[in-house]
Amino acid sequence: MFGRVAGTSGGSIVAALVAAGAPPEYISEQLQDTNLSQFLSKANPRDSVFTERPWKLRILRRIAFGKCKTLANVALDSGIYNSQPLQNWLEPHLRRLVAPYRASGTSGPVTFEELLLPLHVVATDLTTSRPKVWSRESTPSDSVALAVRCSCSIPFFYQAVRNQQSVLIDGSVVSNLPSFVFTHLLDSGEERSGLSRVLVFRLIEDDAGHQSVSNLSDFSARLSGAVINGASHIQSILQPSVYDVVIPTGPIKSTDFENVGEKEKKQLLAAGRAAVRKFINNERIKVRANTARPRFHGFDEKMLLLVQELQGCNKVFLAIGKSTYWLDFIFPTILSAARRGIQIVCITERSGDKKEKRRLLLLTRLGANIEYVSDDCKLPFDGFIFDPETDKTSAILSTVDGVVGTADFYVQERVRFYTRDSDPAVLEMLTERLTPLWTPKPSGVRQLPYVMCPEQDLFNLLRTVPQYAKATFRLDEVAISDNVLVLQEAVKEFKMLQVKQHIRELETRHRGLFEPLRVDLLGGPGTIVTPPVLERVGTQNLVLIEGSARFFHCLITGVKTVRAVIVDNVSAELPGKSQKRLSLLRLTSSTMPLTENYPQMNRSLFRRIEDAVHPYVPETQGNGYGKV
């Protein structure tokens, strides 16, 4: 799932459609249905950026023909064609895509702040000789279609675009690899994440081989191509975590608008699909072969690493530490691992803490093996190991013990990630230290089925939330729209990955989104899957209290309605004063403390819904609770 998209030149068209929420099928249909020759509109002399138009050239244009006339047109009009038709084509598509989420009564061009995903568009500003970058952060109210038009204005082919004080042409002149915008964000700390990977989709034409250069026009085209493609290669080398998806276009060039028919479009689509499949099939090898590994910081990045590695785990998962705090944050991933038959082993110390007892009981009922170290023995380290003693072994080690609750721990924790490819000696040492503490056991697939949870059982638990003591509850279908408000700034990527996995398992088991369910555990009653929870504010708006990642996933994947709990008659104030539309949420991979994600939050008013729905019940009472 993409957190941000960026585009230069023709890539900015696709990036804009993706950012507006267009699914692959929509983009494919538009490519098939659009006659590309409509983008070859004759240059408009009034749109020329040249301040001087010599009379001799104007006379030459009247009497010349062929290439001489073309050169005269370029010299007078700053290009052969006008790119306005591209803007005119893109704008209605963007409006159609964002219409369900646009604020009521909004008109005019679609702006960057209205897009579902943050978009960066790059053009070249001839007045400053630097890149011009549009984004939600820097140009929130600018027209997306206009920015894309500027980014696609190939020099000489299209007229340059004058916009305020700038003269703008194709972004490829300064950067045909716009991933530098992500590098800037990561370096600035705004979106810093050691886990972020940048996928670069590049169209590559057939090599011209050793063909001779025929004329000035051919020389110019080859020089331009060498500059652009060479720069792309150098940028991809210098920027970390950048991975190419190379799509061969054959003899089709970027300006072949008149020569691309139905047959050529199908060939391009097939080439794109084949390139993506090839990349996905070799993704693990390519990513792990990248030795320029960034450092990981803070709790959210550790959880993202943990989810990613555990979702790819095949046989054994080892968790080592004084606390199993992580279970409350990645329960969907642990549940899936248990269902797949992964041997889950927790090596820990005995604890009298009720929350820790609840988690250990829950892990036991998922089929995990709990191994306690003796009182005179210390844990060798704090971390996780996946598939030990295999060619896919990896490990995550933390600099601090797992104690959640302090801001310093949440942000300052340093995390190291080791793989068999780059750190075999370290992994061998870690595995050897754990050998006396656990025993490999055969583990089969566990059913752990979903069963319906009575609504009243759920409501009774929700009523124990202090702010809901006198509230009323009902389950209803809720539309995924901007009538839903959120209190937070961003959705964590590790939660989004789990939502995707959770929805896939619901579909496999023919369960709806998100009806009240319980997971039946081994040896007793199970754990409730908390539906999204919303509080009614006023007559129309609902404020999302629980389930923001699920709602955001449904928003960007086109789901129209879901089941959720609506809470009425809440007398307490909301925990956060800042409310925003659902579509303005963003996805982040970086560690983001609660105080930053929930501006002006009053902790005393925070609804501790998960604690209420999953209380600790001693094992002797035959019940236990976890969280999904």
Give me the pLDDT at residue 180, please. Answer: 66
| φ, ψ for residue 317, nearest 5 deg | -125, 120
β-strands 369-372, 343-348 pairing? parallel
Q: How far apart are CA 180 and CA 354, in angstroms?
A: 48
Please name which of 191, 207, 234, 283 lies closest in space to residue 493, comparing C-alpha atoms.
191
Neighbours of 500 (CB within 10 A): 15
Q: Is the pTM of this model over 0.95?
A: no
* CB distance 83 to 158 below 8 Å: yes
* CB distance 388 to 316 below 8 Å: yes
Q: How far apart are CA 373 and CA 320, in angstroms?
A: 10
Q: How far apart are CA 397 and CA 418, in angstroms?
A: 8
What is the token pair recorded at 46? Answer: 């009034």
Q: How far apart are CA 333 and CA 517, in angstroms?
A: 17
Q: How far apart are CA 603 and CA 407, in angstroms?
A: 13
Bridge-partner residues for 433, per DSSP?
Answer: none
State pLDDT tens for residues 44-82.
Answer: 777 766 555 555 555 545 555 455 555 555 555 667 788
Bridge-partner residues for 320, per DSSP?
Answer: 347, 383
* CB distance 591 to 299 below 8 Å: yes
The three-class DSSP label of residue 321 is coil
| φ, ψ for residue 357, nearest 5 deg | -60, -40
DSSP state, residue 399 = S
Could you list the beta-strand ranges (E) of 19-104: 41-42, 81-82
* C-alpha distances out from residue 81 to 54, 160, 504, Å: 20, 10, 48
Q: Residue 492 half-sphere exposure, CB side, CA atoms within 13 Å? A: 23
Please name which of 8, 257, 59 lies closest in space to residue 157, comparing C-alpha atoms.
257
Residues 6+ apart with CB under 8 A from 91: 109, 110, 143, 145
Please name which of 344, 348, 346, 345 lies closest in space to residue 372, comparing C-alpha atoms.
348
What is the token pair recorded at 330? Answer: 């990645």
Side-by-side strand order, sheet with 450-452: 450-452, 517-521, 524-529
Q: How far apart are CA 361 and CA 614, in angstroms?
A: 12
What is the token pair recorded at 165? Answer: 């004080």
The three-class DSSP label of residue 132 is strand
Q: How far apart are CA 34 and CA 450, in angstroms?
A: 46
What is the token pair recorded at 365? Answer: 């009922």
Give me the pLDDT at residue 247, please. Answer: 83
Neighbours of 566 (CB within 10 A): 17
What does the H/E/C string look like for 244-289? EEEEEEECCCCCCCCCCCHHHHHHHHHHHHHHHHHHHHCHHHHHHH
* CB distance 345 to 316 below 8 Å: yes
Q: How far apart are CA 100 and CA 103, in angstroms?
A: 9
Give me the pLDDT at residue 607, please. Answer: 94
Give me the pLDDT at residue 73, please. Answer: 57
Please name which of 32, 33, 3 lies closest in space to residue 18, comparing C-alpha atoms.
3
H/E segment holding residue 305: helix 298-311
Query: What is the distance of C-alpha 39 from the center of its chain?
Result: 32
Give me the pLDDT at residue 189, please. Answer: 45
* CB distance 549 to 307 below 8 Å: no
Low-confidence ranges of the chain (pLDDT < 50): 60, 65, 187-195, 216, 220, 223-224, 227, 230-231, 233-234, 237-238, 291-292, 402-408, 620-628
β-strands 533-537, 561-568 pairing? parallel
What is the token pair recorded at 394? Answer: 């990896």
Cβ neighbourhood burial of 466 (10 Å; 0-12, 13-18, 19+): exposed
Please name which of 554, 527, 544, 535 lies closest in space to residue 610, comparing C-alpha atoms.
527
Give me the pLDDT at residue 369, please. Answer: 95
Amino acid at 190: E
Give me the pLDDT at residue 404, please. Answer: 39
| φ, ψ for residue 222, nearest 5 deg | -70, -35
Please name which of 175, 578, 505, 82 lies closest in space to residue 335, comparing C-alpha atoms.
505
